[in-house]
Amino acid sequence: MEALNTYGLSKKFGKKTVVNGIDLKVDKGIIFGFLGKNGAGKSTFINMLTGLLEPTSGSFEILGHKGNDLKAVQPKMGVLPDYSSFYDDLTALDHLKYFSKVLKLSLTKKDLIDTLKRVGLEDAIHVKTKNFSFGMKKKLGIAQAIINKPEILFLDEPTSGVDANSILNIHTLINEIAAKGTTIFLTSHNLDEVEKLCDEVAIMNNGMVQTQGNMKQLRAYYKKDITLYIKHSSGLEELQEKMKKDLSVWVKDVKLGDTFSEISIEEENFIPEINKIFVNNNIDVYRLEVDEPSLEEIFLNLNEKKHSA
C-alpha cells in the first residue's frame, strides 16, 4: 500500500515552472530519498504535499487522503523544514509544550523530555533557543516533527549543519522510527547518507523526476556491466589460454595478471561460477571486489547526461 501518490503535480510561479508534472509513488513504511540540485524543486514539492503551497495543477494523496483534504491527514504527519524558526526566549521544553498544545496532544512533561533526549538535546532542555547553535535548532526541529508519532515524516536536510557524532545519532533515530512503520520522505545533499539510509530514491532535475528506484535498479540503469577485481595466488602464466577459454562462457572482457585480474560481466549471479573456475584451476582467490557505482556517481552521471542532451 502506498503512503504517497502524486499525479501530474505541478507548480508555477509566474511563468516559471518549478515542479513539472511529477508522478510519484512512495510505499508505506520505507525511507524514501528525494534528491536534486539546489533549485531542482524539492522544497516546493514538499511544501505542496504539506499544505504550505497550492499546486498549480495535478493532484496527490497522502495516507489515502486526497490533497484537498489535508486537515484530515495533517495530525498524522511530521514535518522538518530545511530551516526551522523558533521563539528566542522559549526553551527547548517550552517549544515542545507549545507544539503539543497546537497539535492537541496529551503528552506529559516526561514524554516531552524523552523526545528531547532522543534527538540529543538532553543538555539543552531548559536552554532558551536564542542560545542554540544551528545544529541544535535542527535537532529541536526533528523533536517537534516526531512528538505526534507521525505515520509519515517529511525531513528536509535533517543533518545539515550538524556535527559528525550527532549525524550518527540522527541516522539511528531515523532507522528506529522507520522500523516502527513510519514512512520517511527524506531530502539531503549528503548522498552517502541517502545511500546508507534509503530503501528507494528518486532524483529530480529541472522540476521533473529523472529516475527512481532502489540502489540495485539505479546501478543497473547507470552501468550495465559489472567489474570484478580479483586478488589471487600466482601461477596464471601457464594457464592464461585455458583460463580465458573457461571464463569465456561467463565474461565479456578479461585481463589476467600474475596475482591480480580484472573481469567484466553482465550478471551478478555469474560471480560464483567465476570463482569456481579459479579454484578448479588451483588458483587461490584471496579477495574478490565488485565495482559498484555510488549514489554520488549515479547522481553526477545523470546530471551530465541531462546537461549534454
Confidence of residue 86 (pLDDT cuts 50, 70, 90): very high
Neighbouring C-beta atoms of residue 126, cutoff 10 Å = 10
Query: Using CA of residue 265, residue 267, residue 268, residue 274, what is the dihedral sign?
Result: negative
Q: Give the domains, in start order, of the chain with CATH numbers.
A: 2-220 (3.40.50.300), 224-291 (3.30.70.980)
Return phi, psi of residue 242, to 5°.
-65, -45
Query: Using CA of residue 239, residue 244, residue 250, residue 252, what is the dihedral sign?
Result: positive
**Residue 172, pLDDT score:** 92
Please state the rounded mean pLDDT for residues 125-150.
93
Confidence of residue 150 (pLDDT cuts 50, 70, 90): very high
Q: Which grid coordinates belong to 109?
A: 512533561
Closest by Cα among 147, 163, 51, 165 to 96: 147
pLDDT surpassing 50 at residue 82: yes
Residue 129: exposed, middle, or buried by beta-carbon count in 10 A (0-12, 13-18, 19+)?
buried
pLDDT surpassing 90 at residue 206: no
Q: What is the β-pairing status of strands 2-13 and 57-62?
A: antiparallel
Which CB contacts under 8 angstroms, 24+ apart, belong to 14-17? 17/207
Please state the rounded mean pLDDT for residues 5-28.
94
Q: What percent of the chain has pLDDT over 90?
A: 61
- For residue 128, give the DSSP letter: B
**Residue 260, pLDDT score:** 93
Residues comprising the chain, all counted: 309
Residue 263 in contact with residue 253, Cβ under 8 Å? Answer: yes
Return phi, psi of residue 60, to 5°.
-155, 160
> What single letter denotes the amino acid at residue 186?
L
Grid cell 510519484 — which residue?
A: 24
Closest by Cα among 208, 214, 223, 156 to 185: 156
pLDDT surpassing 70 at residue 303: no
**Residue 224, pLDDT score:** 65
Summarised one tens digit per residue, pLDDT across range 232-284 is 999 887 888 899 999 998 998 899 998 999 999 888 889 999 999 999 999 99
Task: Tell which wins on pLDDT, 238 or 107.
Answer: 107
pTM for the predicted model, two decimal places = 0.79
**Residue 198, pLDDT score:** 95
Q: Give dist(CA 209, CA 205) in Å, integer.
A: 6
pLDDT surpassing 90 at residue 189: no
